[in-house]
Structure 1
Amino acid sequence: MKLLAALVAGLFATSAVSASTKNDNEIQLTRRNMFIKADDELDVKALSRYFNNMNRKYKHMMRNYHKNTGKQHPLLRFLSDLLDDDKEKRGVTNLPLNDISNEQLWAGEVSFGGQSFLIDFDTGSADVIVNPDAYDPHKSKSSKSSGQSFETSYGDGTTAKGTIYTDDFKIGPISGKNVAVGRSTQTFIEKEGGNQGIAGMSFASLSAFHGDFKPFFYSLMDQKQVSHGVFQFTLKKGEGSTLTLGAVDTSKYSGDPAWSNVDSDQGFWATGASVNGVKINAIVDTGSTILTGPMDQVRQVFSKIDGLKTFTQQGQLFATYDCNTTPDITVNIAGKDFKFSKEQTGYGKQGGRCVLTICGQDQLPMNAWIVGDSFFLGASVIFDMEQKRLGFAPQK
């Protein structure tokens, strides 16, 4: 499935949002379908493995935070997750995005040293890391090796490790100098759909790169290549998904955004929220598929939804429902209610019943929910690095 997305840079004001509707530059993004089979049956075992691997990603983010700040992350759930475990290491422009992995990752074209490739945008991590055959520093006159190494994990279970370089960077007409890129020594992300890496868009305290190697959006802000430090995701099934850089596109939503402050020192795009009245900490993550949270809180949510049947798989709690119905799910975030539509509540089928897009986990390394694509499909989400806040508005 291919989705069109726009990536816009420029035009943003603090008190008023400027709309940009002309798409001058478009990039097609692709997405792998890992969990939904041809008959719409959900591969629950594969999804369970994905969640276990997603936990590894967040453990690495917690460790990065500890190394960068010397402090335990305030959302840390298990102190043991800070310990290294070898068994677990593993201007204005419009750019279209493609959907990869059935609403799991969102990718667009970038280039380092004149070498272009597709890369996934992930608000749950901080660094740009690419496969070894995507970027060859020896083919770039502007490449510089730092001589420093990195290692991190991702939600698909892969581990990337290699050397940090800096090079000329380009995304659409936006260019940056000396932008950090980690070149993995081995292929860490499957290339189905052409994607060749991860572009992290969280705050810098989660970075696996140390020293002066800032995330790519920080570099664009520092070099004044975007007018303002803001970006916006509007993700849809079918065509029309958009990522906007440096601006807010008001044509993507109805009404005014509701804003919630975030603590940038924590690294994650995290805010308070509730699901069917159950209060949660929410980490807003474009690199995640559905909503997943601590088991006790998810059980509370399930108890408030009629017609569910639950089952467990590898330490995770799932629920199914009659596909002819639409379960009542409402996420309140920044004081605004977002009621899930029919397409947001289900993620494949199991035994002839639809699987709910909420999952409970015993082994989440933090006291928070990971809020992924099933929420994004109903909201346009604004990430404001300058004012350290998140904005949410219903999609048009």
Structure 2
Amino acid sequence: MKIKRSAGRPFAQRNADTPHVFDPTYATAEISGLLGKYAQAEQFLSGVGLNPDTHPEKGYAPFTHPLIGALNSTNATVTNTTGAANATNDASGPRPIVQIPGTAQMALTDDVAGGMDILYYGNLEFGSHSPSQVLTVDIDTGSADLWVPVNCRSCAGDSFRAYESSSYHTLGQRFSVSYGAGKVSGSLAQDVVSVGPLSVAQQTFGAVKSETEDFYDAPSDGLLGLAFGSIAQSRQPTFFENLMTSKQVASGAFAVHLQRDQAAGGEVCFGCFDTTKAIGPITWSPVVSRTYWSLGLNKLAVNQWQGVPANLTAAIDTGTTLIYLPDDVTSQFYALIPGSKQALEYGAGFYTYPCDTPLAVTLTFGGRAYSVDPADFNLGRTSAASPDCVGGILALGQGFPDNLAIIGYSIYDYPGNRIGFALSVNNKDPP
């Protein structure tokens, strides 16, 4: 499995033999943003300051269905969630895409810049009038608030025109979220929010009236948080949790596919798993904290026989581009790669290694090892003629809990209290 593919942030597509010069602009900006985003991580993971867990998955069984779509090849098979393969095509040809009630698929656009996949965003509908107003939102499993600009003349993106919706009302409570140097602020409001056929009549969201200049260049208007509502700044259930509570979704799970290095192809599957985005079975690991979507990270290894034991909580975060580990674990990891060294010219936390070093990097969650493709681990050369490349695992540095890792990945199952990973179609060899 390639890291950050069938649900989570992928690295930019690149061929290991193609010279690519690393651009630190977006990576350093992301590090700054993480300082704000995870400022309360230590207390959240300790159970301090949490909102009540409403357990919106009541009445749902752990994910086993529905599976949407089919692999479109003459002799294709689809592997279900238990690992058993089922025929999907017969003599008549490929089976058509199957749409199932209680599901919705949000197409995602990949914002590619500087050789990296910066963020993924899709359309969300607001308001009660027909047609409803469509705004774009960044998809983020590392936070739990929904916010969009509302009647905001100073905001860079499109703004929801609250005066055009008869069902819109404010709650009279302040709202703000910080992302490092970036911040949005306003008040809490409620209105109809929909994706495809799925709709929440009174969804609470941040009605943003002000945003710092860090958001001026963002391609999306707002953000859809899909972590557990226990960490929401609004102290309200998330959009997906409300869909579960109202029993609108066929399954208490959602899956995220992030296309590599292409504007189109990404998707969130609400209440479903899209088999056209995967080429292998789902493997599961248990959630260790109903705050962030978090797993126990047991070990990092290079070339199988060398490893670094870890006792970390890994936040599986689609809103984060790279992999971040505590300082000591990162230094031990790179010590396994001959010729690696710190790259302070980019800032604290960066490392380089000889580009021609054969690497087989794996991360182990819940006793299962997942491989990181060398082309994904390699963020690019330090210069066009340099023999050194920048590694895709960075040190968190000061200001973060010493037991926290931040990683991006796949399917998120509330009733099963688990995260599933599947091999993405991004990993499929070209014909």
Match of 1:111 among 125, 131, 135: 125
Q: Is the 8 A contact 1:258 1:391 kept in 2?
A: yes
Taking the TM superposition and a 5 Å limit, the aligned residue runs for 1:171-186 are 171-186=195-210
C-alpha displacement of 1:6? 11
Establish whether residue 51 from structure 1 lines up as the match of residue 51 from structure 2: no
The 1:99–1:340 alpha-carbon spacing in structure 2 relative to 1, beyond 3 Å, is same
Kindly provide the CA deviation profile for residues 219-261 of structure 1, in whole angstroms up to 9, marking residues without a partner as x: 1111222112201122231453332110122343344322121
The 1:179–1:341 alpha-carbon spacing in structure 2 relative to 1, beyond 3 Å, is same
Q: Is the 8 A contact 2:337 2:353 kept in 1?
A: no
Q: Is the 8 A contact 1:294 1:364 kept in 2?
A: no
Kindly provide the CA deviation profile for residues 186-217 of structure 1, in whole angstroms up to 9, marking residues without a partner as x: 1356354641011000001110013xx32111
Establish whether residue 152 from structure 1 lines up as the match of residue 204 from structure 2: no
Provide the residue aligned with 1:299 in structure 2.
331
Give the distance between the partners of 1:46 and 1:95, measured in 2 at CA.
Answer: 25
Identify which range, 185-194 or 239-248, moves more after superposition: 185-194
Provide the residue aligned with 1:339 in structure 2.
371
Give the distance between the partners of 2:224 and 2:29, measured in 1 at CA.
Answer: 23
- TM-score, L = length of structure 2: 0.70
Give the distance between the partners of 1:165 and 1:62, measured in 2 at CA.
Answer: 29
Provide the residue aligned with 2:244 in structure 1.
221
Give the distance between the partners of 2:407 and 2:399, measured in 1 at CA.
Answer: 13
The 1:236–1:46 alpha-carbon spacing in structure 2 relative to 1, beyond 3 Å, is closer
Give the distance between the partners of 2:334 and 2:220, measured in 1 at CA.
Answer: 36
Taking the TM superposition and a 5 Å limit, the aligned residue runs for 1:353-392 are 353-366=388-401, 367-372=403-408, 376=409, 381-392=410-421
Give the distance between the partners of 2:32 and 2:382, measured in 1 at CA.
Answer: 20
C-alpha displacement of 1:285? 0.4
Q: Percent identity?
A: 29
Q: Which runs of 5+ in 2 are unaligned?
A: 13-18, 53-101, 153-157, 302-306, 426-431
Q: Is the 8 A contact 1:61 1:125 kept in 2?
A: no
Kindly provide the CA deviation profile for residues 109-142 of structure 1, in whole angstroms up to 9, marking residues without a partner as x: 0011122111101000001011335213222111
The 1:62–1:295 alpha-carbon spacing in structure 2 relative to 1, beyond 3 Å, is closer
SS of residue paired to 1:103 = strand
The 1:130–1:40 alpha-carbon spacing in structure 2 relative to 1, beyond 3 Å, is farther
Give the distance between the partners of 2:343 and 2:6, measured in 1 at CA.
Answer: 39
- 1:362 partner letter: G
Give the distance between the partners of 1:337 and 1:61, measured in 2 at CA.
Answer: 25
Provide the residue aligned with 1:42 in structure 2.
22
The 1:254–1:332 alpha-carbon spacing in structure 2 relative to 1, beyond 3 Å, is farther
Provide the residue aligned with 2:304 in structure 1.
none
Q: Is the 8 A contact 2:191 2:201 kept in 1?
A: yes
Provide the residue aligned with 1:27 in structure 2.
none
Q: Is the 8 A contact 1:285 1:371 kept in 2?
A: yes
Establish whether residue 394 from structure 1 lines up as the match of residue 418 from structure 2: no
Provide the residue aligned with 2:352 in structure 1.
320
Give the distance between the partners of 1:361 and 1:6, measured in 2 at CA.
Answer: 24
Larger radius of gyration: 2
Q: Is the 8 A contact 1:258 1:335 kept in 2?
A: no
The 1:6–1:45 alpha-carbon spacing in structure 2 relative to 1, beyond 3 Å, is closer
C-alpha displacement of 1:166? 0.6
Kindly provide the CA deviation profile for residues 333-353 of structure 1, in whole angstroms up to 9, marking residues without a partner as x: 233322221321122332333
Match of 2:189 among 160, 165, 173: 165
Give the distance between the partners of 2:42 and 2:195, measured in 1 at CA.
Answer: 29
C-alpha displacement of 1:293? 1.1
Provide the residue aligned with 2:281 in structure 1.
256
Kindly provide the CA deviation profile for residues 155-180 of structure 1, in whole angstroms up to 9, marking residues without a partner as x: 6x311111111101111222221011
Kindly provide the CA deviation profile for residues 17-71 of structure 1, in whole angstroms up to 9, marking residues without a partner as x: xxxxxxxxxxxxxx99xxxxxx95434365334313212110145567743359x
The 1:326–1:169 alpha-carbon spacing in structure 2 relative to 1, beyond 3 Å, is farther
Give the distance between the partners of 1:263 and 1:194, measured in 2 at CA.
Answer: 33
Identify which range, 92-101 or 283-292, moves more after superposition: 92-101
Give the distance between the partners of 1:313 and 1:292, measured in 2 at CA.
Answer: 18
Provide the residue aligned with 1:349 in structure 2.
381
Number of paired residues? 332
Choose between structure 1 and 2 for higher RCO, CA contacts under 8 A separated by at least 6 residues. 2
Establish whether residue 235 from structure 1 lines up as the match of residue 235 from structure 2: no
- 1:226 partner letter: V
- 1:331 partner letter: L
- 2:198 partner letter: I
The 1:253–1:364 alpha-carbon spacing in structure 2 relative to 1, beyond 3 Å, is farther
The structure where helix makes up a greater share of residues is 1
SS of residue paired to 1:218 = helix
SS of residue paired to 1:219 = helix
SS of residue paired to 2:215 = coil
